Amino acid sequence: MEKDKGDSNKMGLKGSLTSGQMQMIALGGTIGVGLFMGSASTIAWTGPSVVLAYAVMGFILYLVMRALGEMLYINPTTGSFADYATNYIHPIAGWITSWSNIFQYVVVGISEVIAVGTYINYWFPSVPGWTSGLVVLIFLTLANLVSVKAFGRLEYYFAMIKVVTIVLMIIMGLLMILFGFGNHGQPIGFGNLWQHGGFFTGGLNGFMFSLAIIAGSYQGIEVLGITAGEAEEPKAAIAKAIHSVVYRILIFYVGAIFMIVTIFPWNQLGQIGSPFVETFAKVGIAGAASIINFVVLTAAMSGANSGIYSSSRMLFKLSKDGFVSKTIAKLSKHQVPYVSIISISFGILIGIIMNVFLQNFSNMGTKLFVIVYSSSVLPGMVPWFVIVISELRFRHANQHQMIDHPLMMPWYPYSNYFTLIALSIILIFMAINPDTRLSIIVGAGYIVVLALFYLVWHKKHPDFYQGKK
């Protein structure tokens, strides 16, 4: 039987990613440093009910991924959700989605590479942070340049390290809670879930504020929509990845957070450092801090690796579509968009240089960097809105292909409307919350600038889309 090849041949890219690699790439792009460092901000806002908040946000993302899966199964393309935005909403939506995705992942890449320097300083305090960050950036760039298979293999192992750590954390947590393992034989029980001010310690506002922060931690799951164009067998790989990845993320996030707020009183977490370190230390594992530092280091490298891959593919697609120089779409002999990858890595390098300059020569360095990083949260949510809206129109246009479709959006169209309303409410609470208001304003400003750029571009090329049809 001939393998289905998606659009990889049409775009010139090589279909090399397996289903397992696609799943790990989605997991690796989503399970990040924040979880391992304790998720302190989300727990501080709402206390033990943070477990429910992660579950609620996970359910919303389940619906987003099912909507994406329905479209990918029929039309697996590189940069898929940008294509869907163009075809089923409006070309300006595709433009905003593409550049929002690039901005999000470049900013994430900068922050993760900078973080790498901090983690390496744990073992080698005399090494300047920018030096180790630069070395890691060069290493990840070379891995992406070699082949998509090399990227997929590297990301697979990065993600596997995180997954194994979380599974061990959950197992040890259960042993502590039920049997007192690591707690002098005294079962910890479940009392910490309600004994320190109740389950919903922050009330409705605190719960909703935590949802907004959790939404940022889940960003990256939609990277499956970018990898689809380079899958070996797109339909089979997409079906397996969509079915499993959301459940896995829910288990790892909700499971790990549940263990944290059950083992430790939520109002003491800010004083203990990383709950993962404390949990491993409790059961007598020597060098717990070094182990978790290594895991967090790989988590940061994983985030930067995913960022380079995702944003380079979106930039490659913009070039293929004629929005940026055709030079950007050049492929190496390994069918890798090397100019696009180098361009993205150069953007991350500029971010590293700017961070060093601001830290050394400006007293606003840290504050400015935090503003830039947080501004990527709203652009990072753009693909979710686009996916759910696009699927509403996609279903109407492809009714004949819905028979025996394994990934149809459940409860359509009510699930679409629910998801759109839920995401909108989260954005409203982000605007209400003083801690996230600035990120919304800056992110919204970025999207407005993108829209203005599109209008100027379209005025110069009024017949562009008619010519493509």
Considering the domain boundaries, does residue 155 fall inside one? yes
Number of domains in the chain: 1
Considering the domain boundaries, does residue 465 fall inside one? no
Considering the domain boundaries, does residue 272 fall inside one? yes
Using alpha carbons only, what angle is made at residue 152 by residues 147 and 156, rounded to the nearest 5 degrees? 150
φ and ψ at residue 446, rounded to 5 degrees: -60, -45
Q: What is the pLDDT of residue 55?
A: 92
φ and ψ at residue 448, rounded to 5 degrees: -60, -45
Number of helices (H), then strands (E), belonging to the chain: the values are 20, 0
HSE-CB at 243 with a 13 A cutoff on CA atoms is 12
Q: What is the pLDDT of residue 189?
A: 92
φ and ψ at residue 362, rounded to 5 degrees: -140, 135
Considering the domain boundaries, does residue 254 fall inside one? yes
Q: Is 7 helix (H, G, I), strand (E, B) or coil?
A: coil
Q: What is the pLDDT of residue 1?
A: 36
CA of 293: how far to CAs of 125, 156, 161, 288, 298, in Å? 14, 19, 12, 8, 9
User: What is d(CA 432, CA 429) in angstroms, rounded to the nearest whole number?
Assistant: 5
Q: What is the pLDDT of residue 2?
A: 40
User: What is d(CA 31, CA 249) in angstroms, rounded to the nearest whole number?
Assistant: 8
Q: Is 75 helix (H, G, I), strand (E, B) or coil?
A: coil
Residue 252 is part of which domain span?
Answer: 8-458
Asked if residue 127 lies in contact with residue 135, where contact means CB atoms within 8 angstroms, the answer is: no
Considering the domain boundaries, does residue 2 fall inside one? no
* Mean pLDDT, contiguous 10-residue spans, the chain (469 residues): 45 63 68 64 86 91 90 77 88 90 86 82 85 91 86 84 87 90 87 90 88 81 71 73 75 87 85 74 80 85 86 88 86 88 93 79 57 76 93 88 84 94 93 85 91 86 57
What number of residues does the chain have? 469
Q: What is the pLDDT of residue 423?
A: 95
Considering the domain boundaries, does residue 188 fall inside one? yes
Considering the domain boundaries, does residue 469 fall inside one? no
Render 354-407 in DSSP notation, one character per residue: HHHHHHHH-TTHHHHHHHHHHTTHHHHHHHHHHHHHHHHHHHHHTGGG-TT-TT
The answer to pTM > 0.75 is yes
CATH number at residue 172: 1.20.1740.10
Considering the domain boundaries, does residue 374 fall inside one? yes
* Strand partners for 17: 231
Which two three-digit tokens encode residue 327?
């030079």
Asked if residue 231 lies in contact with residue 238, where contact means CB atoms within 8 angstroms, the answer is: yes
Render 283-345 in DSSP notation, one character per residue: TT-TTHHHHHHHHHHHHHHHHHHHHHHHHHHHHHHHHHTTSS-GGGG---TTS--HHHHHHHH
